[in-house]
A and B are shown apart, each in its own frame.
Chain A
Amino acid sequence: MKHLLAIEQLSRAEIDAILDRAESFAEVSRRDIKKVPTLRGRTVVSLFYEASTRTSSSFELAAKRLSADLVSIKAAGSSVDKGESLKDTVATLSAYDPAAIVIRHPHAGAAQLVAEWSDAVVINAGDGKHEHPSQALLDLFTLRRQLGALDGKRIWIVGDVLHSRVARSNLIAFQAMGAQVTLCGPPALIPRGIEELGCEVSHSLDGLGEADVVYALRLQKERMKESFVPSIREYAANFQIDSRRLGARQLLMHPGPVNRGVELSGEVIDSPHSLISEQVASGLVVRMAILYELLAVGGAHPAPAEGDPGERPTPMGQPA
């Protein structure tokens, strides 16, 4: 595994390796000193062309916990604002010889292009409506801790699938781990032909009772202006997950940020069903694991250069 561009490109064994690694980082996170020296002297660039709270902060903290030097670039206020092309920006950043570039971009395939243009390991932190692989991995990690293996489990992804990169990555990831997935939402928000990816499609919550896990997606309020749904009220009446619709044994997830009272009712967000805060906590350790697997284990950048302090990556499970 040279880059993390799409869940689609990962085997089940590669996914398991990242989740196992995240487990050992979860152990580190409980220590007083949470930092390990693995990436000392190496540079991680965080390049965000879209607003993000969870993803950018957890990737940046993950890089720091691994002792990397971090360069953080947000589109607003940078030369991107001045019309510089992605290709030219990548060429400029390459001068820092980064070990990894973490990129979030509003268009599909951007991370793949950066991987073609740069020698760095590239991590896709969300490309348009295409994929968001680190989100899928942290969701798998969260579920594995709750349920163990996902084989045979039923997972419903509910809401605006059309505009959601999380829906696409999670659909592929859940299926890769043996779960059966149903996509549920109003017809205009379910992409035509998506059932060819092997999932079920439903336009009603009637069958929701079969689900072991309910994964709700954010519905942006602008969608009603484009006639995807007639009104937020009608959307909520048909597709909101509330305590009435959620059974006792069902787990609830959401990638955040939540529109309270739209896709989720207030009471389920804070209920024992909800794994939403576990997801956020998983984000950090899973992103540490991604950086570790790609930079320290993947061997993309083998030995530290001459003159480098030369700290070998500390194997996990040994004192850092």
Chain B
Amino acid sequence: MRPGEGANLVLRGATVLDPAAGIEGTHDVVIRAGEIAELAPPGAGDTDGLEVVEAEGLHAFPAFFDPHVHLRVPGREDEEDVETGTRAAAAGGYCGILAMANTEPSVSTAADIEALREEAREQASVPVGFLATVTREMEGEELTEMADIRAAGAVGFSDDGLPIRSARVMRRALQYQRLCGGTIALHEEDPELSGDGVMHEGPVSAALGLAGIPSVSESTMIARDAALARYEDGRIHVQHLSAEESVAAVRTAKAAGAQISCEATPHHLCLTDEQVRALDASRFKMNPPLRTESDRQALLEGLRDGTIDCIATDHAPHAEEEKTVPFEQAAMGVTGLETAFAALHTDLVLGGVIDLGLLVERLAGGAEPFGLERPTLAPGSEANVALCDLSAKWTVGEEGYESRSSNSWCAGRELNGRVLVTLAGGQVAYRLRSFSLGVAQ
């Protein structure tokens, strides 16, 4: 993150909610030199020398952490870069993100990691952790210099975008992990079963004449890698769970004692393959694909019972010309950083499906699986705060995007709940323009 001054401000009278730290109530959130100094009774906070933000009726959450973002650097800066991607993260209430390594060229050496960390020091508005690939050029054959890469500061490893096809290579990576640490994050998909599929295999793909990606393409690989992780005592994180069978596979692996965590995306938690009928590739084509209502219900159950540790956006910016083509030819992926909280609040919390506390807890749950500290509002910790107005309504895309790309799955939707201010790494990373003007009055 760009070096800067620690924030000095007080969120007066905010409704504070940090379930993981057992904090719930109305407080003055006093922030000095980038640290949470105290949670004082409303009106009692020491505001000496602090900017006062009137936060009555607003919610202060621990800022969110996204373990799955595509910053497209190096190579596709026309789609996103460190500056725009972290600005989008800050606008979404995130205080930290992990960037995937499937860039062009891929992030596969210690020098790549060093260059990216330098770029982040110059451009990033929130802290960014970088992952490197597990295998060279993501070819799935030879391991990268994992120890060297870790020493250069990589948070973990992932061939995300592609599965590690060979069980032998997967096993070798887990063995090598004992030497260097670093969670291995896995895009689980059996390419033999996915074939040239472009959406979930089921009645909708049958009706549209589109090649399907069966649910078992994901769950069989999770079962394989969970077994390997147990055998080698390795640490794995399963990315973007989409299918009912996958939730069951992770649940079984956790019960058996595997060191396994997993994530689900907002779009898989909110949408089903019925959306694909409109053949709108910009909003509804991604991998893994949107699946059925029973898959979605299974993901929600996994979120509630803790099988799913965190919510990750899989923010995947794409150039317009990669999306304005027939569905089968379009690139996979949607953006999500700017809308994750608002969309989940609208569809799941206001919809009565999950409660606000669970949402906040899971949106901040992406750090721990990678050995990083969970953002918290506990006094004494670094200020990582998302100040949100749950009653604010806004239409996605109406004022453009912070991201350089506009392939948002929420494009055009009206959402309830908006991030007003984000503190990340102790600094003010974002203020909604209309809100900061209000403060100035």
A residues within 8 Å of B by Cβ? 85-87, 105, 107-110, 112-113, 127-131, 165, 168, 191-194, 196-197
Contacts and interface: CB of A to CB of B under 8 A. Distances in A.
Interface residues of B, number: 20
A130 B209 contact: yes
Interface of B: 201-210, 212, 214, 279, 321, 324-329
A124 to B, nearest CB: 12
A22 B328 CA distance: 34
B208 A108 contact: yes
* Main SS class of interface, A: mixed
Nearest to A88: B321
Given A107-B326, A107-B329, 9 more contacts: A85-B324, A108-B279, A108-B327, A168-B207, A168-B209, A191-B206, A192-B212, A193-B206, A197-B207
A176 to B, nearest CB: 14
| Residue of B201, B206, B210 ringed by the most chain A CB atoms within 10 A | B206
A197 B203 CA distance: 8
Contact of A192 (B206, B210, B326): B206
| Residue of A108, A112, A165, A168 ringed by the most chain B CB atoms within 10 A | A108
A284 to B, nearest CB: 26
Contacts of B321: 85
15 contacts: A85-B325, A86-B325, A105-B326, A107-B326, A108-B208, A108-B209, A109-B326, A109-B327, A130-B209, A192-B202, A192-B206, A193-B201, A193-B206, A194-B203, A196-B206
Contact of A86 (B207, B209, B279, B326): B326
A192 to B, nearest CB: 6
Contacts of B327: 107-109
Contacts of B202: 192-193
A216 to B, nearest CB: 19
Given A87-B325, A113-B326, A194 B210 contact: no
B209 to A, nearest CB: 3
Contacts of A193: 201-206
A128 B210 CA distance: 8
Nearest to B195: A226
Contact of A109 (B204, B205, B206, B279): B279
B209 A129 contact: yes
Nearest to A87: B324
Contact of B210 (A86, A87, A129): A129
Nearest to A196: B203
A216 B210 CA distance: 21
Nearest to A163: B209
A85 B320 CA distance: 12
A242 to B, nearest CB: 28
A292 to B, nearest CB: 28
**Which 4 pairs from chain A and chain B are nearest by CB?**
A129-B209, A193-B203, A107-B326, A191-B206
A114 B279 CA distance: 13
B73 to A, nearest CB: 26
A112 B276 CA distance: 14
B207 A194 contact: yes
Given A108-B210, A129-B210, A191 B205 contact: yes
A109 B326 CA distance: 6
A133 B205 CA distance: 18
A295 B362 CA distance: 56
A110 B281 CA distance: 12
A74 to B, nearest CB: 18
A241 to B, nearest CB: 23
Contacts of B328: 107-108, 128
Nearest to A195: B203
A127 B327 CA distance: 11
Nearest to B327: A109
A114 B205 CA distance: 21
Contacts of A168: 207, 209
Contacts of A109: 279, 326-327
Nearest to A110: B326
Nearest to A132: B209
Nearest to B209: A129
A165 to B, nearest CB: 6
A193 B212 CA distance: 11
A165 B210 CA distance: 10
Contacts of A107: 326-329
Contacts of B329: 107
Contacts of A191: 205-206, 209, 212
A87 to B, nearest CB: 6
A131 B209 contact: yes
A20 B210 CA distance: 33
Nearest to A131: B209
A130 B208 CA distance: 5
A121 to B, nearest CB: 19
B326 A128 contact: yes
Nearest to B210: A108
A108 to B, nearest CB: 6
Nearest to A109: B279
A318 B145 CA distance: 82
A192 B208 CA distance: 12
Contacts of B204: 193
B206 A197 contact: yes
A107 B210 CA distance: 9
Contacts of B209: 108, 128-131, 165, 168, 191
A107 B201 CA distance: 17
Nearest to A165: B209
Contacts of A130: 208-210
Contacts of B214: 192
A39 to B, nearest CB: 28
B123 to A, nearest CB: 32
| Residue of A87, A193, A196 ringed by the most chain B CB atoms within 10 A | A193
A194 B210 CA distance: 12
B377 to A, nearest CB: 47
B274 to A, nearest CB: 12
A191 B327 CA distance: 19
Contacts of B325: 85-87, 113
B208 to A, nearest CB: 6
Contacts of A113: 324-326
A193 B200 CA distance: 11
A108 B327 CA distance: 7
Nearest to A116: B324
A129 B198 CA distance: 13
Contacts of B212: 191-192
A105 B326 CA distance: 9
A112 B324 CA distance: 12
A209 B270 CA distance: 47
